[in-house]
Structure 1
Amino acid sequence: MGRLKYLWLALALWGTVHPMYWFLSWFRANGFDLAGMVEAWHANAATSGLVWDLTVAAVTLTLWILVDAVGRRDWLSLLAIPTIFGIGVSCGLPLYLYFRARFAGAAAASTG
């Protein structure tokens, strides 16, 4: 599990950098217009489908994190929730898996 947590961290970094490149490119071309960006997300049925797919995934992931983190009393892993909505699921999911792997490693070390 030790090496896997670094893969989760690398994927969280990629899930931050890659989408942000495209978002910042859009802002450079269109100005900082959040309403315009949301409108662009719904430019056609295909993009609207992706937006709703990611919205349902984000809400589901958030609920899972809340239930799991509270049950394990791993408060630090709750930091993944703002990344889901501030950056995206592509960052929030691997970041949460990193936190979870870190917590699992600490629990194993304390019992072994």
Structure 2
Amino acid sequence: MAIIYLILAVVGIVFPYAALIPWLVTYGFDISLIMKDVTVNGLSTFAWLDVLVTGVALLVFMVTDSLRNKIRYWWVSAVGLFIIGVSFALPFYLYLRERQRIVLSEN
């Protein structure tokens, strides 16, 4: 499973940035335009609020779970949550967690 989680983490970088980079090339890094576009209608606002709540829940889970299970490098996933997003952070954290489980089972 670890390799699947790692592949999903890479996909979680590539797919969102494949949409973001062309937008940034066209419009530049304009925060007011970004906020306008992500809240253009109720559906897009719903999606972004859903991602926001998911991100907060994931951060709480990563902190508590990493302390409980002594997951090394969990903070890389937390940084990725803020720089890339949930699409990277969740599968990468699951990769770290699975890797830790494998190491413990071998000892």
Q: TM-score, normalised by structure 1?
A: 0.91
Structure 1 unaligned blocks of 5 or more: none
Deviation at 1:37, TM superposition (A): 1.4
Q: Which amino acid aligns with 2:83?
A: G
> Distance between the aligned counterparts of 1:100 and 1:5, measured in 2?
9
What is the Cα deviation at residue 36 of structure 1?
1.7
Deviation at 1:84, TM superposition (A): 1.3
Quick check: 2:80–2:89 contact (8 Å CA) kept in 1?
yes
Which structure 2 segments of 5+ residues have no match? Answer: none
Whether the 8 Å CA contact 2:6–2:91 is kept in 1: the answer is yes
Kindly tell me the number of residue pairs found equivalent between the two proteins.
Answer: 107
Q: TM-score, normalised by structure 2?
A: 0.95
Give distance in 1, aligned partners of 2:80 and 2:62. 12
Quote the offset at 1:24 in angstroms.
0.6
User: Could you tell me how far apart the structure 1 residues matched to 2:36 and 2:63 are?
Assistant: 30
Amino acid at match of 1:91: F
Amino acid across the alignment from 1:46: L
Identical amino acids, percent of aligned pairs = 26
Partner of 2:54: 57
AA at the equivalent of 1:62? L
Two-structure CA RMSD over aligned residues (Å): 1.0
Is the contact made by 1:69 and 1:78 (CA closer than 8 Å) also made in structure 2? no
Asked whether the 8 Å contact 2:72–2:96 carries over to 1, the reply is: no
